[in-house]
Chain A
Amino acid sequence: MMTATLDWAAAMAAFAGMSGLCLAMDKHGEKALPRAPSLPWQRGLYWGGWAMLLLSLAMGVVQWGAVFGPVIWTGMLSLVVGCLALVLTYRVRWAPGLGIASLVLTLILAVSAWCVQA
């Protein structure tokens, strides 16, 4: 059980992280959010995004090991970014919501993975 949940947690964290990074950009943030985010918000999204990406990588390493973790994570990242690009192209207004949803899901999945393991 634990295996499947942490997989998904890593993917969700990567999605949340990438959402943060793209919403922090003027180009995408303006379109996706109701109002263009202020500078502090942009900074927060940017660094939060990076933190989530790091967290995702860490979960990948825990899940798949130090050897295969980064490899799988890199592959997963292109899938995640591809999905996000499609969202931004065709459903740009969904981006913030999906970002938050993935953030919440990351937490739930990570906690449940933790509980199952413990």
Chain B
Amino acid sequence: MNMSRENQHHPIQEIMATYEQPLLRYVNGIVHNPETARDVVQESFIRFCTGSAGKTVTHPSAWLYKTARNLAIDSRRKHRNTIPLEELPPTAEPAAAAPTPAGLAIARDDARRLRQLMPQLPAREQEILRLRYQAGFSYQKIAGIMGLSVSNVGFILNQALNRLKKMVQDDSVAAMKGGTL
């Protein structure tokens, strides 16, 4: 009996089919832990079910991304809460991976190279790039999800793209130097 109920079609199934993987990737980009990302996405869907019951959510994607984002940040914060001040690493910036000959060979593939370089961007810029070029959201929607103004979204995107462009250029130069050595 329960089985048959579970097999019934429910609107949340469509939502899950559409947004599960994009949300997982987005959240994983924030928490950097697939297991935590799954926790967050599961909770987001549950909140969507319970919170939107009897109500019309006009923008489910924005709702889900925003809820997932809040949960992801909470989760990250809870984790960081346990780190006493004196145990802090000297810098919060992710350590740039030292270029290796193998790494330089891979770097010739543009998409792969961009994936390699992206973690070196500030978290906020990574997130905004993901929302724009992975989820395909408009500036307006990104502004809503991230709690920014639309003009700020444009500014940060521009900053992120320029930074990434510079990193690609630097990386290319390094690769060329590596190749001549």
A binds B: no
A interface with B by C-beta (< 8 Å) = none
B interface with A by C-beta (< 8 Å) = none
